[in-house]
Amino acid sequence: MAARVEAQEQTQADPDALYRERVDPAKAKLASDIWAARLEANTHDFESAWKLARAQYWLGTEGPAADRRAALERGIDAARRAAAIAPMRPEGHFWIAANMGGLAESFGLRQGLKYRGAIKDALETVLRLDPAFQKGSADRALGRWYFKVPRLFGGSNKTSEEHLRQSLTYDPASIASHYFLAETLLDEDRDQDAREELQRVLDAQVDPEWAPEDNSFKEKARQLMARLRAR
């Protein structure tokens, strides 16, 4: 009886409110479970599908290490369902790319090569549908794609920089874009330009909608800036 009451309380909880507190993995997991249950109950529930994919990406990159790969794989499945429900909306395509990117960055070169084409295709689809989606997120992610993928397979720091600067036209204060741009510039031995981008990260105000991600990038920027100063 107690278990049924608890389950009912969980399904009636607000998953958006829970997700806003995603720094607590238990709350992120509960939000994910609610969206998964809603999608199971209504296979055409687009909002639950893409939000489930987003939550799984968070759990797959910031959640318990042992569960990350499975979370990202579930995220790909949920995002594909979202894209199938509403192929002309950008959310499903974007979160396909994000979850595949999480696998590519975290689980070795083989995973990166396996998904590189599909990631690029999904992000280019977002650009065709809505280049301003999530304040230029597709350009931001493509900037990361061109930075991470080996040149032999299409990577290019020049193209990375172009996409990252394009993303900043939608959100000049984007902490993620400035941080990724700093990494690209460092790889080009443009240390002073990179320092300026890192300082922009440190000076920028946190976006309340993306506070956990922004705070993580700020911490990375502090660490990277310290290493540069120690050279």
First and final CA of the chain: distance in angstroms?
63
Q: What's the confidence (pLDDT) of residue 114?
A: 81
Task: Report which residue type is found at 178.
Answer: H
pLDDT tens digits, 47-65: 999 999 999 999 999 999 9
DSSP label at 206? P
Q: What's the confidence (pLDDT) of residue 122?
A: 98
What's the whole-model pTM score?
0.91
Q: Which CATH code fits 156-231?
A: 1.25.40
CATH 1.25.40.10 at 13-130, yes or no: yes
Equal fold, 13-130 vs 156-231? yes
pLDDT tens digits, 137-188: 999 999 999 999 989 899 999 999 999 999 999 999 999 999 999 999 999 9
Confidence of residue 10 (pLDDT cuts 50, 70, 90): low
Residue 135 three-state SS? coil
Q: Are 207 and 188 in contact (CB under 8 A)?
A: no
Domain ranges of the chain: 13-130, 156-231
Q: What is the mean pLDDT of residues 91-118?
A: 87
Q: Are 145 and 154 in contact (CB under 8 A)?
A: no
Task: Report which residue type is found at 154.
Answer: G
pLDDT tens digits, 61-81: 999 999 999 999 999 999 999
